[in-house]
Amino acid sequence: MDHVPPSAPSPAPPAPRTMDDALALMRDLRARCEWDRVQTHQSLRPYLVEEAHEVDDAIAQGHDGVLRDELGDLLLQVLFHAVIAEERGAFGMDDVAGALVAKMHARHPHLYGDGVKRSWEAMKAQAAPRRALDEGLPAGLPALHRAHRLQDRAAGVAFDWPDALGPLAKVREEVDEVAGLVGPDGSVADRDALEGELGDLLFAVVNLCRKTGVHAALALDRSNAKFARRYAAMERLAAADGVTLSALPLEAQDRYWDAVKAAERDGA
């Protein structure tokens, strides 16, 4: 998908169709399209990952029409895999739907069971004890998300701080340990040790995010976008003054940075 700028209009809405229509289309494509017919679960793996990222981009852009279309592309991948499995005699789309409904019922016993609300991670740990905390987590899961899920799982078996104060203190402790490996002149004598301590610091920050109801990956995405936006504003200010930002010394660049932040505070 081409990235759509924020000012772009949403795509025109298509004619309404049903899930049965989409499933019938997928079966027809498998029967009559040369490319679709030869695809396998393995060959489709890159497309599934790509489409999930494009849905995420559409959510970040805030375009309902783009999100609608990208969800359709992601649904295509679900249908594709279900029809391939159906052809193999393994399972079909109804079985996929049945597994989803059964899992959601199990996850919400307070709504569909005995009325008692429970931690999903605790229920999973009780039903099928894991051999390792990371068992079942996808190998390609981004590091920030993996840290969040590991901490969720640990919390599910009661290994967790009671509130956010514990993680906050841990972040401060890890900052001090990182600082102890950086010399007064900014030099680093043991980079391997520093890498380990920086990892511990990041892990502690993720835990603080989790305990305060924030997802670290979303928080970092927000900061990345803010930094890119501010830097672009710095470049525009410098260009308006007839200078190139990158050619200026750090002190001068910092003045543009402060000006951009001040303009944001003032709502300019």
Question: Residues 168, 224: one domain?
Answer: no
Question: Residues 199, 223: one domain?
Answer: no
- How much is the pLDDT for 1? 41
For residue 130, being part of any structural domain is answered with: no
User: Residue 241 burial (CB < 10 Å; 0-12/13-18/19+)?
Assistant: exposed
For residue 111, being part of any structural domain is answered with: no
Helix or strand holding residue 86 (H, E): helix 64-88
For residue 131, being part of any structural domain is answered with: no
DSSP assigned state of 188: B
Question: Residues 207, 228: one domain?
Answer: no
Report how far residue 255's alpha carbon sits from residue 242's, in angstroms, rounded to the nearest whole number: 15
Residue 251, pLDDT above cutoff 90: yes
Question: Residues 260, 195: one domain?
Answer: no
* Residue ending a domain, choose from 44, 66, 94: 94
For residue 170, being part of any structural domain is answered with: yes
Structure confidence by residue, pLDDT tens digits, 57-93:
999 889 999 999 999 999 999 999 999 999 999 999 9
For residue 11, being part of any structural domain is answered with: no
Structure confidence by residue, pLDDT tens digits, 105-157:
988 999 998 888 877 777 777 777 778 999 989 888 899 999 999 999 999 88
Smallest CA-to-CA distance from 202 within 135, 150, 132 is with 150
For residue 127, being part of any structural domain is answered with: no
For residue 199, being part of any structural domain is answered with: yes
Residue indicated by tokens 């001040």: 262
- How much is the pLDDT for 10? 62
Encoded tokens for 91: 């399972």
The boundaries of the domain holding residue 175 are 161-214
DSSP SS3 for 182? strand
